[in-house]
Structure 1
Amino acid sequence: MSTVQEHAVRCAVIGAGAWGTAIADRLSRNGHAVTLWAREADVVETVNTRHENVRFLAGASLHPALRASSDMAAALAGARLVVYAAPSHVLRPVVASGAVHIERDAVLSVATKGIERETLALMTDVVAGEAQGRAVVAISGPSFAAEVASQQPTAVVAACDSAAAAELVQSTMSAPEFRVYTSDDVIGVELGGALKNVMAVATGILEGLGMGFNPRAALMTRGLAEMTRLGVAIGARAETFAGLAGLGDLVLTCTGALSRNRAVGVAIGGGQTLEEALAGKESVAEGVLNTQSAKALADRAGVELPIIDATYRILFEGQAPRAAVAELMARELRAERD
């Protein structure tokens, strides 16, 4: 199978943060007609006149054919593939605001990683609920936007219970430097993408405390066990968490210098409050929101998640990070495998 779509597809990318912009650029470079919807007038202006998203992806040179618009109806008109990349806490109203303009036969894909706080719904469920009757594909995997925009080799997963819809996303997005795999485990792919952000915050807290590689490795490994445990409890397959959307994204987000979630954790481990760590940030650190959602989802499913619980206590209940680490290390001894 070719790694580049042979026929151009009309695409809309809804949400012009760093990740949405990188996806729109990738699709445009693949020869598709792409409109990037942005709420911010300055983003539309700089994308269209300077071929750069100065606010959210400064320094990346965007494909000159990429067009941006703040008109949702115009962005969605005729689009066969719609990619949603709005932050998780605003995804539902963003989808709802344009639902009547989505083509009846469009395939919808979701690049947002998260769990809706109020409903504990995964992002594909949010989109499916607001734009009914269409296939919805989750996109996840280890993919810093800046590196995708600079055409560094990247691999992600497109997951859907419709093989045809997943393969459309695969063929439309794939390029020699951007490899897309398919999966039918939507829950596993989505949950891996959401929970790894929580683990990145936790890993950053350890780094902010001045701890070394041993604790980081322990936290990432046991964090992966927690991600898998919760996923299996709500219908995912364990092996998905050993793939790109689980282990792959976990390694990237917990160790990469470009990780916003890790940076927030470093600030908190270094003594800042959550409010101080988030102050002045243009982009959302999804791991903070997802810590609340993941804890609530685990409580509902009756699943024990010690690292996520500890992260929640640090972020929202004022527990000192060193005390939380000590509690984790003092837990009752047990076998490694559940």
Structure 2
Amino acid sequence: MQETTIAILGAGAWGMALANIAEANGHQVRVWSRRSSQTLEAVIKDAQIVVSAISMKGVTDVASQVQSVPLSPETIFVTATKGLDPQTKCTPSQIWQTVFPNHAVVVLSGPNLSKEIQLELPAASVVASNVPTAAEVVQLVFSSNRFRVYTNSDPLGVELGGTLKNVIAIAAGVCDGLQLGTNAKAALVTRGLTEMVRIGNVWGAKTETFYGLSGLGDLLATCNSPLSRNYQVGYQLAGGKTLTEILANLQGTAEGVNTCQVLLQRAKEENIAVPITEQVYWLLQGEVTPQQALDELMLRDIKPEYN
């Protein structure tokens, strides 16, 4: 495709991985971060695509800053953040769409561990939007022989897959840290997916989306790799470290820690059963030990699998 000007907001591992893919595809890429010498306006000026790869806590603030920059009505926003806003309980794409109601917003999510992508190992991802042509443009920009991109018409489901699996990944890290074995891990991940689908359905996402790359695919990658920051949080909690210690030494943000708290609040408001999320929350709060959390899950009332 013809050269596209892309502004990447966020110079962390994920932002730089996306920048490298787009640059390798022959596009003009500009990167901005809070520590950047360039102004936000200079980076975004004339950009046809603006990619947000910042952590959840910065999304609302950065979106409002971007609002003051003159943009073409054709500019496409791509959100690559996985989380929930603590104040509004909204997803990143909902925040961007609220600030820019007349622009196309595309969600990019999938089993994409940044370090593996930086090593140019093969990966696949999903781009989803309510504007199909916008998703197709973004698909072309990022598709390559090492990064295969699919389109999807369920942006909320794609976004929730990447967001909710971070909580399950913390639990998976605990499972491995306690050396509970393959059977336990398989049960946890499977029931975790059921929990994700249950939440997604209530919030308006499609069930089938969670069985694709942005749901099951991302869940498998994050629950099985020490490269995952959320997995590391759980693994180290199982090893006896405190959450404060772990986060102080973690490179980057473990979005599942914040997501867990926001998710539990919203689930209680909407009467959604989230037993795994609940135990992860109490574990993060230091109210239960990893073993106590396990016991609570194992000793819940027995029930049919698909209720």
TM-score (structure 1 length as normaliser): 0.88
Q: State which of 58, 63, 74 in structure 1 corresponds to 2:42.
A: 74
Aligned to 2:168: 199
1:25 to 2:41 alignment: no
Aligned to 1:15: 10
1:279 is paired with a residue whose SS is: helix
1:335 to 2:282 alignment: no
How far the C-alpha of 1:115 sits from its partner, in A, is 1.0
Q: State which of 104, 116, 131 in structure 2 corresponds to 1:147.
A: 116
CA distance in 2, matches of 1:282, 1:178: 24
CA distance in 1, matches of 2:64, 2:101: 10
Residues 156 and 205 of structure 2 are in contact (CA less than 8 Å); yes or no, is this contact kept in structure 1? yes
How far the C-alpha of 1:105 sits from its partner, in A, is 1.7
Residues 79 and 92 of structure 2 are in contact (CA less than 8 Å); yes or no, is this contact kept in structure 1? yes
Residues 96 and 131 of structure 1 are in contact (CA less than 8 Å); yes or no, is this contact kept in structure 2? no
Q: State which of 239, 247, 254 in structure 2 corresponds to 1:285.
A: 254
> Is 250-259 or 142-151 further displaced after alignment?
142-151
Aligned to 1:179: 148
How far the C-alpha of 1:209 sits from its partner, in A, is 1.9
1:31 is paired with a residue whose SS is: coil
Residues 157 and 180 of structure 1 are in contact (CA less than 8 Å); yes or no, is this contact kept in structure 2? yes
2:284 is paired with a residue whose SS is: helix
Residues 229 and 250 of structure 2 are in contact (CA less than 8 Å); yes or no, is this contact kept in structure 1? no
Q: State which of 47, 50, 68 in structure 2 corresponds to 1:100.
A: 68
Aligned to 1:87: 55
* One-letter code aligned to 1:215: A
Deviation digits for residues 315-336 of structure 1 (CA, Å, limit 9, x no counterpart)? 1252111111101101111111
Residues 234 and 301 of structure 1 are in contact (CA less than 8 Å); yes or no, is this contact kept in structure 2? no
2:287 is paired with a residue whose SS is: coil
TM-score (structure 2 length as normaliser): 0.97
Residues 115 and 121 of structure 1 are in contact (CA less than 8 Å); yes or no, is this contact kept in structure 2? yes
Deviation digits for residues 173-209 of structure 1 (CA, Å, limit 9, x no counterpart)? 1111111111111111111100111111111112222
**Cα distance, 1:70–1:39 mapped onto 2, change above 3 Å:** farther
1:157 is paired with a residue whose SS is: strand
* One-letter code aligned to 2:120: Q
How far the C-alpha of 1:73 sits from its partner, in A, is 0.5
> Is 94-103 or 257-266 further displaced after alignment?
94-103
- Structure 2 segments unaligned to the other structure (5+ residues): none
CA distance in 2, matches of 1:211, 1:170: 40
Aligned to 1:63: none
Aligned to 2:263: 294
CA distance in 2, matches of 1:243, 1:293: 24
CA distance in 1, matches of 2:38, 2:173: 36
* One-letter code aligned to 1:314: L
2:249 is paired with a residue whose SS is: coil
Q: State which of 205, 223, 228 in structure 2 corresponds to 1:254.
A: 223
* One-letter code aligned to 1:27: A
Q: State which of 123, 129, 135 in structure 2 corresponds to 1:166.
A: 135
Residues 132 and 153 of structure 2 are in contact (CA less than 8 Å); yes or no, is this contact kept in structure 1? yes
CA distance in 2, matches of 1:330, 1:219: 14
- For these two proteins, the number of residue pairs brought into alignment is 306
Aligned to 2:34: 39
CA RMSD of aligned residues (A): 1.2
2:68 is paired with a residue whose SS is: helix
Matches within 5 A, 1:225-240: 225-240=194-209
> Is 244-253 or 288-297 further displaced after alignment?
288-297
- Structure 1 segments unaligned to the other structure (5+ residues): 1-5, 42-68
Aligned to 1:54: none
